[in-house]
Amino acid sequence: MMNSTQVSYFILGAYFDTRPFKYLFFIIVLCLYVLIVGSNVLLIVVICVNRSLHEPMYMFLCSLFVNELFGSSGLFPFLLVQILSDVHTISVTFCFTQIYCLHSYLTIEFYNLTAMSYDRYVSICHPLQYHQLMTAKITVYLIATLWVFSFLGICVTTSLSFSLQLCSNFINKVYCNNYSIVKLACSDTTVNNIYGLVASALLTFITVVLIIYTYLKILKECYSGSKQTRQKAIITCTPHLTSLLNYTFGVCFEVVQSRLNIDHVPNMMRIFLSLYFLTCQPLFNPVMYGLNLSKIRQIWKRTFSIKRR
């Protein structure tokens, strides 16, 4: 029986032999990572340097883009090394660091999208009180709270998993996640399971209830409001709803392939399903928000028109 502190490394068993194509895969993944970093950093800079974008909605967007960088950086550099490597192992320290980063990213993303739905609700349903209800101070407090709360919650999760006694060091994935570690345990995992269920239930309950409530209110306001109100709702809510649905589907893919027996599914497809919410969301959000929000489009137009002169 092994304790996780005595195990020196974990074996990642979901990788397959990519020897003939590993440099091609490396270039594709590297391009994806560069694209993610470039697009998210670009929009963060645009929001930070333009005072007209120093509004709650764009501050939440900035937080979202920073989280995309945080989550993708917990995966892609490691993934690039593993693609070129012939032995797919990961040290215990780095494995738990990766678990902490990726699970924090997941939690922050949900809470951030929930806070954005509340911001849209106040903007559309209470436009006259918007600047009193969503001041810069309140927005900063909300962003700080969701980040700190997520970091503390995941700190407990990783601490509980680190103390488990393990029967094996084989993880059937291309990266570390908490559920894979718990499945390796020989010791009692009751505390881990209870904490995981409660934390997941709270995360799901808080986010789903708040999002449903805010969008029901927005729909009611659109139904009884003016054409201008409906246009505002469509313009500002469409990117948020699309991002939320995309992320939810990605997380559902990860849950299904982690907890259910899908051995009949090709290995390449299982890897894609497990990586979907970590790759598509960071790529999807900058494109969706950059193209759909008029203020950002106007700033891009002004910037490029100045450069052409």
CATH code of the domain containing 62: 1.20.1070.10
Q: Residue 168 belongs to what domain range?
A: 2-232
- Condensed to tens digits (0 to 9), the pLDDT of residues 92-130 reads 999 999 999 999 999 999 999 999 999 999 988 888 888
**Contacts with 240 (C-beta within 8 Å, 6 or more apart), sequence order:** 113, 116, 117, 120
Residue 103 lies in a domain: yes
Share of the chain above pLDDT 90, in %: 29
**Contacts with 304 (C-beta within 8 Å, 6 or more apart), sequence order:** none
Confidence band (pLDDT; 50, 70, 90) for 41? very high
Which of 15-29, 72-86, 150-164 bottoms out in mean pLDDT, i.e. has the lowest? 15-29
Residue 293 lies in a domain: no
pLDDT value of position 115: 93
Residue 243 lies in a domain: no
- Give the mean pLDDT of 116-145: 91
pLDDT surpasses 90 at 63: yes
pLDDT value of position 306: 54
Residue 284 lies in a domain: no
Residue 262 lies in a domain: no
Q: Both tokens of residue 217?
A: 């209110």
pLDDT surpasses 80 at 297: no
Q: Both tokens of residue 239?
A: 């990117």
Residue 289 lies in a domain: no
Residue 224 lies in a domain: yes
Q: Both tokens of residue 51?
A: 């005072």
Q: What is the number of structural domains in the chain?
A: 1
Residue 176 lies in a domain: yes
**DSSP H helical ranges for 185-262:** 190-224, 227-259
pLDDT value of position 1: 45
Cα separation, 164 vs 186, whole angstroms: 8
Question: Cβ of 40: how many Cβ atoms within 10 Å?
Answer: 23
Using an 8 Å Cβ cutoff, are 120 and 237 in contact? yes
